Structure 1
Amino acid sequence: MALESVRPVDFTVSTCNSIRFTLATASNGIKALADHFASNEAFAQSLVDAVELIGEGRGRVVVSGVGKSGHIGRKIAATMASTGTSAYFVHPTEASHGDLGMITSEDTLILLSWSGETAELANMLTYAKRFSVPIVSISSNRDSILARNSDVAVVLPKVPEACPHGLAPTTSAMLQLAVGDALAIALLERRGFSAEDFKTFHPGGKLGAQLRLVHELAHVAEQVPLLAVGRPMSEAVIEMSSKGFGVVGIVDQHGALVGVITDGDLRRHMAGDLLSQPVEEVMSHNPRVVKGDVLASAAMEFMQEHKVTVLFLVDDAQMPLGILHIHDLLRAGVA
C-alpha cells in the first residue's frame, strides 16, 4: 500500500465527547462507591458482614445472576477461585433445570441483580430458604425481594449509566464488579493467601513465570563459578571464561561466599601483575545474593534496583547453592 493512501484516523468531536463522557461517568461512579463506603455505616458493615459470612462458610461460594449481572458474576467467581476462595458460577436458568443440585447447605450464595427483582433468581431464592443456604445479595434496592430475603444485603448507591438512554448497564455493572473484587481481596487477606499460594492457581503465562521461585531457574552444582581464597587471579579468569557468567564467586576456607570478581573488577585492577595477584586482592566484598525461595519477580526487581545481572544463591550460612543470570529470568518470561 502506498504511503500516501494511508489516511489518519478521523476522531470526530462527537465520538471523543462520547468517550470522554463515558470515562468520566465511570470515574464518578467509582468515586461515589468509595464515598458511600466512607460515609454510610450500614453499607460498610454489609461488606464486612459479607466477608465474615463467606469466610466462615464450610462449603463453596456459588455466584449467580442474569444478563450483565451474570457476566459480572462469572468474573467475581473466577477472581475468588483464583485467590483462595473456592467459587463457581451457576446460571439461574440452568439452576431451575437441575443445577440446583450443585448447591449444598454448606455453600454460600452470592446473587447479583441491580434491581433486586430479577424473576429468574426466584427459584434459587426458594431453594436457598428451603435448605438454609446463606445468601449475600448485591443490588441497588434495599426494599427489593432479593435484598429482603438475603442474610447480608449489599445495597449499592444508584449511579447514572453512561448509556445516554440510561438503559445499558455500564456504570452499574462496574460497581458490581468493584464490590466483587473488594470481597475477593478481603477474603484473600483474611485467609492469609500468599504469593506462593497464588502460584498454585496460576502456573501458566507471564504471571506463572513471575511466581516461579529462584531455585527453579538457577544453575547449580558444577555450573556455579567458584574459587577459594588464596588462589591466583589467573585461575579466576579461567573460571569466569569457562562458566560463561562473567563472574566468579570467592569462598573462604569453610566454603562460605565472601566476595565476587566481575568483569568490572578486572578492568579496575588491570595491571601487569594482575594474573599473579590472589583473588581476595581483587574481589568485591559483600556480594549481592538471594535465597532460593524468593520469587523470580522479586529477584528481577532486586537486580534492576542494584544494577547487577548476576546473583548467587546462598543458604543461611552464606554457602553458595547456585547462580542466577538475568537472562535466565528473561528466558522464563519474568520481565
Structure 2
Amino acid sequence: MKRSPMPTEQETAQMIELGQAVIETEAAAVMALIPRLGAGFAQACHYLLHCRGRIVVIGMGKSGHIGNKLAATLASTGSPAFFVHPGEASHGDLGMITPDDVVLALSNSGETGELLVILPLLKRLGVPLIAMTGKAHSTLAKESEVHIDVSVDKEACPLGLAPTSSTTAALVMGDALAVALLQARGFTAKDFALSHPGGSLGRRLLLHVGDIMHSGEALPSVSQDASLHEALEVMSVKGLGMTAVVDQQGQLVGVYTDGDLRRTLNRPIDIHKMRVAEVMTKGCKQVPPEMLAAEALQMMEENKINGLLVVDGERRLVGAFNMHDLLRAGVM
C-alpha cells in the first residue's frame, strides 16, 4: 500500500493556521448570539413549553441536518419533537402536523422554497411558527410568530459559500432552546436516563443491585458450621471469588473471600477440620437489592473490595455479585 508523502513544515503550519482561523470565526459567530437572546427567545421557549402536541422541526439541506439533530436533542430532554423534511411535507408528510403542534423552521436565507410552499397550509392549521433564520426581513421571518436571529458576519469557509459559521450558530441556538426548556420542565438526570435506557447513563441511573446479582442456585453460600474445605468447594463451583456464611435462619454472619484464603494459607491449618466461621470476615459489607448498582460500585471502590453480598430487610442472604458482574452490566 502506497504511503502518502509527509507534509512539509510549511504545509503543516499552514494547515494548523487555517484550522485555527475556522474555529476563531465560528467562535466569534457563537459569541455574537449572546446579546440577541431577549424577549423573542423567551417567547419561543413559551410556545415550545406550552405545546400540547409535538414540536415539529423542519429545514432543508444543511439546515435540515441541524434541525434533525435539534429534534433529537429536544426529544431526549423532555420536549417531544420530530423532524419533517419540507420537501416530503408538501407530498403527504404534512399530515403528520396537527393543530396542537408548534413548528420550528430553520433556514439561513429565510427564503427556502420548500418551506415557503407549506406556509399557507401551516397558517390554515393555525400552528404557531417559530423561525430561526439569518435574515430578519426574510419571508419566513415575517410570516412567523417568533423570529430568532442566527445571522453571522461571515462563513468560516474562505469562499464564503459552504455553510459553516451559520450552521454552527443554528446548532448552538437550538441547544440553548433545548436546555432552557429542560430547566423549565424540571427535567432530571433520572428523566434523561429513562429515555436513554441503552446508554451508559441509563444503566448507571436505572440498574439496581437486584438486576445483576446472583441468586438461587448460583448464590455461593455455606453454613457457619461448614468446614473450610466445603467453603472452598463452593467458591470454586460458583466462581465469584467468595462465599457467604449464614446461620440456620439464613441470616448473614460473614464472608470468606480469595483474600481471606491467602491470609489463611499463611497459617498451619487442616482445611478439612477447620470451620470456615473461624477464618471468615465478620461484619462484612452488605447492600440491599434495591440499591443502585452505581452506588454499590462506588462502595466497592471506596472499600477496595471486589464483591458484595445482598441481604433483605431481615439480613437474610438473597444475592451476591462482583466487579465482573458490574462490568458485564455496563455500569463500569
Scaled to the shorter chain, the TM-score interval is 0.7 to 0.9
Shifted more, 305-314 versus 170-179: the winner is 305-314
Partner SS, residue 255 of structure 2 = strand
Hey, what does 2:165 align to over in structure 1?
Answer: 171
Which of 221, 225, 235 is the aligned partner of 1:240? 235
- Percent of residue pairs bearing the same amino acid type: 42
Report the Cα offset of residue 148 of structure 1: 3.6
Preserved contact between residue 139 and residue 147 of structure 1 (Cα < 8 Å): yes
Hey, what does 1:265 align to over in structure 2?
Answer: 260
Report the Cα offset of residue 312 of structure 1: 3.1
Matches within 5 A, 1:6-21: 9-10=6-7, 12=11, 13-21=13-21
Hey, what does 2:143 align to over in structure 1?
Answer: 149
Hey, what does 2:119 align to over in structure 1?
Answer: 125
Of the two, which has the highest radius of gyration? 2
Change (3 A) 1:7 1:105: closer
Q: Distance in 2 between matches of 1:63 and 1:237?
A: 62
Hey, what does 1:283 align to over in structure 2?
Answer: 281
Report the Cα offset of residue 6 of structure 1: 5.2
Change (3 A) 1:304 1:26: farther
Report the Cα offset of residue 95 of structure 1: 1.9
Q: Which consecutive residues of structure 2, in runs of 5 or more, have no partner in the other structure? A: none
Shifted more, 78-87 versus 58-67: the winner is 78-87
1:72 aligns with 2:66: yes
TM-score, scaled relative to structure 1 = 0.79
1:53 aligns with 2:47: yes
Partner SS, residue 219 of structure 1 = coil
Report the Cα offset of residue 273 of structure 1: 4.3
1:309 aligns with 2:306: yes
Hey, what does 1:104 align to over in structure 2?
Answer: 98
Preserved contact between residue 55 and residue 82 of structure 2 (Cα < 8 Å): yes
Report the residue type matching 2:83 in the other structure. Answer: F
Give the paired residue count. 325
Which of 96, 100, 109 is the aligned partner of 1:115? 109
Q: Which consecutive residues of structure 1, in runs of 5 or more, have no partner in the other structure? A: none
Change (3 A) 1:328 1:122: same
Preserved contact between residue 312 and residue 323 of structure 1 (Cα < 8 Å): yes
CA RMSD of aligned residues (A): 3.5
Q: Distance in 2 between matches of 1:285 and 1:330?
A: 26
Preserved contact between residue 102 and residue 128 of structure 2 (Cα < 8 Å): yes
Report the Cα offset of residue 267 of structure 1: 2.4
Hey, what does 2:174 align to over in structure 1?
Answer: 180
Report the Cα offset of residue 241 of structure 1: 2.2
Hey, what does 2:24 align to over in structure 1?
Answer: 24
Q: Distance in 2 between matches of 1:46 and 1:301?
A: 45
Q: Distance in 2 between matches of 1:32 and 1:262?
A: 61
TM-score, scaled relative to structure 2 = 0.79
